[in-house]
Amino acid sequence: MSRPLCGFLFAGLSFAVILPAQALVEPGNQAARAEIRRTGFGVPHIVAANERGLGYGIGYAYAQDNLCLLANEVVTVNGQRSRYFGPDKATLEQRNNMASDLLFQWLNTPQALADFWKAQPLEIRQLMQGYVAGYNRSLAEQTTQGLPQPCAAEWVRPISTDDLVRLTRRLLVEGGVGQFAEALAG
């Protein structure tokens, strides 16, 4: 079977298993409207008219599936692991929390965050703003229902666009300077 035909069949099968359950998520702002459809395997497909709506749907769906994981990452990139988990514990990457905190406090200065944000095109900023709104709405809904036990703690909080910038900057350096966090910490 040819490669294009396989791709076409796979795409067709993917749409065939979309669950009838769909979510139309709308904040008070119509500009961030998104429709979330999940496949039979639970994979979200987001339909939106603009970047803010797309970000909203992605943030909402990601928080439904990975709230604890993202909240943990936000603690990391804010340099607050020692505060919430203890300085001698380790990150998911087996990096000492104190070293991790020092790295991200050094990396994510207020000026660095502001410069990064200003350098982004309008569409990226709208996507990130939508993501924040979607994540925060999902968090609010899950909080009223009771958060999963691993993240029913004070370190789980609404996020900001600065948090997403910190996460992005982490991804940009993780394979480079991030490997030397403990050496940089002393």
CATH number at residue 128: 1.10.439.10
Structure tokens at 76: 């990391």
> What is the structure's pLDDT at 32?
75
Q: Which residues does the chain have with pLDDT short of 70? A: 1-31, 176-186
In a domain, 89, yes or no: yes
Beta bridge partners of 23: 36
In a domain, 159, yes or no: yes
In a domain, 36, yes or no: no
Residues 6+ apart with CB under 8 A from 30: none
DSSP of 3-49: HHHHHHHHHHHHHHTEEEEEEEE--SSGGG-EEEEEETT--EEEEES
> What is the structure's pLDDT at 13?
38
> What is the structure's pLDDT at 65?
95
> What is the structure's pLDDT at 183?
59
How far apart, in whole angstroms, are the C-alpha atoms of residue 10 and residue 156? 38
In a domain, 3, yes or no: no
Residue 62 lies in domain: 50-185
The domain tally of the chain equals: 1
